[in-house]
Amino acid sequence: MAVNLTVNGTRHSVDVAADTPLLWVIRDTLGLTGTKFSCGIAQCGACTVHINGVPMRSCSVPVSAAVGKQVTTIEGLSPDGTHPVQQAWIELDVPQCGYCQSGMIMSVVALLKRTPNPTDAEIDAGVTNACRCSTYHRIRQAIHVAAAKVRAGGRI
């Protein structure tokens, strides 16, 4: 069936089953491979995207749930890697293998939209994605750097 989707501001009509997870529509049908598959059961967060600004684990969201809403993936965060969170990630050299980082960054962007100046406790509670390389030490520092960039006028 045809499903109408808006991803990163572009409207698409895709021919997939309505219960297909949004993740696979994004990756396979639309070819946006920055969003990753890892656990398939909404545990790890590697597949995190925004649906109307809310971070969702796209491996466990049927594509039908995104119809009529704005989906944003890592590719839609900025055209050129200049989003304040991406810049903070580069400054702190956060990623190691990097596989979880698209989802991690999407979660952090959502956190900073809700909580522009998070405490460490708010970071612990608000960012529940898993990073197997355990880059958390730099993630935490980079979140604080990104928050400062936003306070200084960075667009989020």
For binding to another protein (CB under 8 A), which residues are involved? Answer: 17, 20-21, 24, 28-29, 31-41, 43-44, 46, 73-75, 77-78, 81, 86, 89-90, 93-102, 105, 120, 123-125, 127-140
Neighbours of 156 (CB within 10 A): 15
Q: For residue 112, give the DSSP letter.
A: H
Q: How far is the CB of 121 from another protein (least distance, A)?
A: 9
Q: Distance (Å, rounded) from C-alpha 75 to C-alpha 65?
A: 21
List the beta bridge partners of residue 71: 7, 51
Distance in Å from the first CA to the final CA of the chain? 35
Q: How far is the CB of 152 from another protein (least distance, A)?
A: 19
Q: How far is the CB of 127 from another protein (least distance, A)?
A: 5
Residue closer to another protein, measured from CB, 14 or 51: 14
Residue closer to another protein, measured from CB, 29 or 115: 29
Q: How far is the CB of 150 from another protein (least distance, A)?
A: 16
List the beta bridge partners of residue 11: 6
- Give the angle 18-16-24 at the CA atoms, nearest 5°: 90
Residue closer to another protein, measured from CB, 38 or 115: 38
Q: Distance (Å, rounded) from C-alpha 117 to C-alpha 140?
A: 12
Q: How far is the CB of 81 from another protein (least distance, A)?
A: 5
